[in-house]
Structure formats: C-alpha cells, structure tokens
Amino acid sequence: MGEVALNRLSKRYPGSSDFAVKEVSLTVADGEFMVLLGPSGCGKSSVLRMIAGLEPITGGTIAIDGKVINGVAARDRDIAMVFQSYALYPHMDVFDNLAFGLRRRDVPRPEIERRVRNVAAKLGLTPFLKRKPHALSGGQRQRVALGRAIVRDPKVFLFDEPLSNLDAGLRVTTRNELIRQQHEIGTTTIYVTHDQVEAMTMGDRICIMDKGEVMQIGPPLSVYRDPANTFVARFLGSPPMNLVPAVVETNAAPRLRIGGIVLPAANWPADRLHACGGKGLFGIRPEDIYEASPRPGDDRVRPVPATVIAVEPLGAETLLLLSIEGTAEEVTARSGRETRLRPGERTTVMLDTAAAHLFDAATTRAIERTTP
C-alpha cells in the first residue's frame, strides 16, 4: 500500500511573510499517478520536497498509509525521488549507480544483482551497465535515474520535472516509457511539472496549483472541460480558453451581451447570474469556434461577425486571431489546415454556446450550468 494524504500542508520560508505552500489538502490513492501542475513558483516542488522529507514542514501533516510521517527522517520514509538533474555518480558505471541505494540498505548481493539486472532489462539499459554517465545520452541518463528509483521498490515515487532537460522528441519517448513503467509496477506516483501536455497525458488526476494554493483537482479531461476558475481556464489548454467580458442581464430571459452580440444565458442558475452584479466573463475554447456550423439547425451555435487579425498555420491545424465586431475583444479560434481566411478579411464565425463557460468577474469562479 502507498496512499499519501496531505492535510492542510503549509510551508513558509524564513524571511518571507507569504506562504510558499498554503494549506494544501489532497489524497493520492494507492497506485495512482497524481500530477502537480502549475507555473514556476506555485509551490508544487516545495510540496514534493516536504513529502520526501527534504524540507521542514511549517504546518499540516503528511501521512503514508495512515501513518503521519512529519517527524520521520527522509531515509526512513520508503520514498524514491527522481530530480530534474539526473544526480548520477559520475565515477560509477550504470550498474553501480543502480545498485548504490540497495547497498546502503545492506541488501544481500544476490538480491542486488537480481533487482539491478531485472530493472536494466525493463528500461533497455542492459547494454550500458558498464558505461559511466558521461558515455550515455540524456535519455539514457534519465532512464538510469528512473531505474535507481524503481530498483528500490518503494511505496511512493516522487518525480520533480524529470523530463525538462530533454529535447522535444526524447521527452515524448521518455514520457511514454514512464507511463508504461508506472502502469506495470503500479507504485503510487506524484509527478511535478509545469508542462500541461505531460499533465494531460500522464496523470490519473491532476492538481493545479497557483501561489501555493490548490486551484482544482480532478481527472485531466474533467478539469479541462470544467475549469473551476479563470486561472485554470487560462492555464490548461494551448491556446488557452478565450475569456471575454460580458454584461449579464437577468431579466425574464437571461442573456449575455458582448458589445452588440447577444447570447442566451438560460442554462446558468438565475440566482448565480444575479449575484454577478451584471459583470461576467464569457469563456470559450478555441476549438469551439468554427468557420461553419458543426451542427446546422442547432440554435445553440450562434453566428458572430469578426475580422481576421492574424493567421498562424501550424501544419495539422491553423490558429486564427479574430477581432469580434463591435468590441475591442480578440479571440483565438482553432481551424482546419484548409482554411482560406486571410488577415484583414471580414467573416462570420460560429460560437458553440453549448460548450461555453461563464465566470463571475469579481470572484473569477465558474458558474456551473443547470443542465449538461
């Protein structure tokens, strides 16, 4: 078992009046792959280091399998951590790097030999067991660092941005290898990254953090589809969700007004709309803006006049930067590679309001729909 429970975990560094981590509470189930996602300085690495025992805790508790480990030394927590830097011993070959932690724990030699060779075979490192780190590629070094954690068979794996030093192609390959290994081994894993692609593709759940606090926790697609606030809406997605100021009118037929454009607002609770005080933020993902209606005849797909500001062909798709007519607002649309639109051209795009979001402009929190 390897359940990890954080209860109001906090960290304030000496000399600072602000908390680097503020009352973070979450539970990582046994065998789960949890990703801590957020911008630099959001506190995600501090959380990881406190779990590992590398940073003292200011407040709150950390428990593994129900046992609070706040006062347990790092070496006794049965946790293996892989850092952004590979932290390999340059004077040791791959075999000795993999075996180092086992030797420190006085594991018998035959067992060390068995474990090291088994892990080396899984990670494709068998041909390199006699090489030293300087004779390995970046991806091979990262696999050695991963193998050194796996060979210990810990209760929990901790990964602190382990792929950030790799080039783009190698990151994809190593990412897939990490996913495969975690599924095969089934060890509880907490993975820190600022890369949303890694978070979306690797995590069973993701925990999005900002300024030391948890913004939202959930399965990747659920968080993407239903962001809890404007920070999550902007941070998760590339390009991010379009957020446009809207006047919220709560009359007999609630509606949103964006410049001269009027959109229905009947699917949001009347009391929540009224609480906005007339000010909201209309959110829509770039992939929910179309050149032609995806569902002809559906009155939830609304035409909006716009001017093309920029066209960004990316090969498989094209991004369009559009200025909404009658306002100073600009939005990004994700279009097909066959688009014929050009900068300066006036057009009409279709907004799928069934996929739209509404946020309270004052609190930035999402207003949940009354119907799917």
pLDDT tens, position by position, 318-337 = 999 999 988 888 999 999 99
Q: Categorize the per-residue pLDDT at 110 as very low, low, confident or very high, splitting at 50, 70 and 90.
A: very high
Q: What is the pLDDT of residue 129?
A: 95
pLDDT of residue 1 exceeding 70, the answer is no
Q: Categorize the per-residue pLDDT at 277 as very low, low, confident or very high, splitting at 50, 70 and 90.
A: confident
Question: In sequence order, which residues have a C-beta less than 8 Å from that of residue 109 and are 6 or more positions away?
Answer: none
The model's pLDDT over 179-194, given as tens digits with 9 standing for 90+, comes to 887 888 888 999 999 9
The CATH superfamily of 4-232 is P-loop containing nucleotide triphosphate hydrolases (3.40.50.300)
pLDDT of residue 168 exceeding 80, the answer is no
The class of domain 239-360 in CATH terms is mainly beta
Mean pLDDT of 6-29: 95
- Bridge partners (DSSP) listed for residue 10: 59
Q: For 325, what's the count of Cα atoms within 13 Å in the CB-facing half-sphere?
A: 15
Instruction: Give the residue from 216, 250, 239 showing the smallest Cα distance to 289.
Output: 239
Q: What is the pLDDT of residue 326?
A: 81
pLDDT of residue 85 exceeding 80, the answer is no
Q: Mean of the per-residue pLDDT values for the chain?
A: 91
Helix/strand/coil for 266: coil
pTM of this prediction? Answer: 0.88
The model's pLDDT over 123-163, given as tens digits with 9 standing for 90+, comes to 889 999 999 999 998 778 888 988 888 888 888 999 998 88
Domains 4-232 and 239-360 share a fold: no
User: Which of 10 and 259 is assigned the larger pLDDT?
Assistant: 10
pLDDT of residue 245 exceeding 90, the answer is yes
Distance CA(235)–CA(240), nearest Å, equals: 6
CB 199 within 8 A of CB 14: no
The full set of domain ranges for the chain reads: 4-232, 239-360
Locate 52 and state its tokens.
């590992």
Residue at 129: amino acid letter: L
pLDDT of residue 371 exceeding 70, the answer is no
Place of tokens 């606090």: 213
